[in-house]
Amino acid sequence: MTIDYHTLRNWPFKDIEQTYTARDAMFYSLAVGYGANPLDPDDLAFVYGKELRVPPTFAVVLGYPGFWARDPRSGIDWVRVLHGEQGIEIHKPLPREATVIGRSRIARVVDKGEGKGALLEIQRSITDKASGERYATLTQLTFCRGDGGFSAGGGPSDEAPAVPPAVPGRAADHVCRAPTRPETALLYRLCGDDNALHADPQVARAAGFARPILHGLATWAVAAHAVLKTLCASDPARLARFHARFTAPVYPGETLRTEIWRDGQAVSFRTRVVERDMVVLDHGTAKLR
């Protein structure tokens, strides 16, 4: 089945209402490495205390519409779908507890050509149910490897998004190392992504991995923690945007090394696994307030 441009651009996502508590926010923080040093006062503020801070990346697990691409009406070869990039624009820091509304839409459908796949850009806003204030806008770029060529007969296709800039050629201004725990993926899956690939060794081997891999969004959150701690004094209000491209999987228990470059309020970064010297997040960009 071939995907249809108009069907996807007008996909009928339902608004997702979600109530979270301070306990939910703290569990997410622990799952992505905050509090690894319980004596660090900056990290402790995300997992303990009346003035609890919430990581900006917590928004990525709120108002999630689920794996909608499995719906046969989408025409997507969902088995061959990859999460290519993830970004967030932070409008206002998340409170310690709230009821939020997640509203998703497909903003871009790009035909890369027959045999080359297609790109979907999916945007999701996270707003407060009571006030209507927007906390964050999430942008996900999905690579549909089996769905290229849908516009070959003259049908529409959107312009591809700009390629994120490469990191600077000079040595990094800051380097932040963060170990992950062997059970990190088992913790993170309780935040909303229970794909067996991240828990079941047999499923992981069938997919071509030696063992279950860490969720890409968990790796992404670890990198955001590094930027937040290094450049923002762990103050969520000081991070305005954060974006990265996924380039390789991480195995729970590996050490993540985030290299950071700062040019004024603009930030570039990349993250690599120390044990395998492999870049797992690249073309990372952030903006500070």
Whether 140 and 202 map to the same domain: the answer is: no
* Residue 165 domain flag: no
pLDDT confidence of residue 56? 98
pLDDT > 70 in the chain, percent: 100
pLDDT bucket at 83, cuts 50 / 70 / 90: very high
Amino acid, single-letter form, for residue 61: V
Mark which of 144, 166, 182 sits at the end of a domain. Answer: 144
Average pLDDT over the chain reads 96
Whether 229 and 184 map to the same domain: the answer is: yes
Give the residue-averaged pLDDT of 154-178: 95
* Residue 131 domain flag: yes
Whether 120 and 190 map to the same domain: the answer is: no
* Residue 215 domain flag: yes
Whether 226 and 264 map to the same domain: the answer is: yes
Give the residue-averaged pLDDT of 101-105: 98
Give the residue-averaged pLDDT of 166-174: 97
Whether 128 and 196 map to the same domain: the answer is: no
Q: CATH number for the domain including 230?
A: 3.10.129.10
The catalytic residue positions are 193, 198, 213, 216
Whether 44 and 140 map to the same domain: the answer is: yes
Give the residue-averaged pLDDT of 98-115: 97
Number of domains present in the structure of the chain: 2
Whether 140 and 221 map to the same domain: the answer is: no
Mark which of 129, 144, 159 sits at the end of a domain. Answer: 144
Whether 96 and 199 map to the same domain: the answer is: no
Interval 128-157: pLDDT, tens: 999 999 999 999 999 999 999 999 988 999
pLDDT confidence of residue 207? 87
Whether 39 and 137 map to the same domain: the answer is: yes
pLDDT bucket at 79, cuts 50 / 70 / 90: confident
Interval 175-208: pLDDT, tens: 999 999 999 999 999 999 888 999 999 999 998 9
Whether 132 and 187 map to the same domain: the answer is: no
Give the residue-averaged pLDDT of 241-257: 98
* Residue 119 domain flag: yes
pLDDT confidence of residue 47? 97
* Residue 155 domain flag: no
pLDDT confidence of residue 154? 87
Residue among 225, 235, 223 nearest 269 (CA): 223
* Residue 149 domain flag: no
Give the residue-averaged pLDDT of 75-98: 95
Whether 189 and 264 map to the same domain: the answer is: yes
* Residue 96 domain flag: yes
* Residue 157 domain flag: no
pTM for this prediction: 0.95
Mark which of 144, 160, 190 sits at the end of a domain. Answer: 144
| Whether residue 1 has pLDDT greater than 90 | no
Q: Is 289 exposed, middle or buried (0-12, 13-18, 19+ CB in 10 A)?
A: exposed
pLDDT confidence of residue 2? 82
pLDDT bucket at 50, cuts 50 / 70 / 90: confident
Q: Which residues form the domain of 75?
A: 5-144
Give the residue-averaged pLDDT of 245-265: 98
Residue among 175, 284, 288 nearest 232 (CA): 288
Whether 179 and 284 map to the same domain: the answer is: yes
Interval 19-41: pLDDT, tens: 999 999 999 999 999 999 999 99
By the 8 A CB rule, do 251 and 210 touch? yes
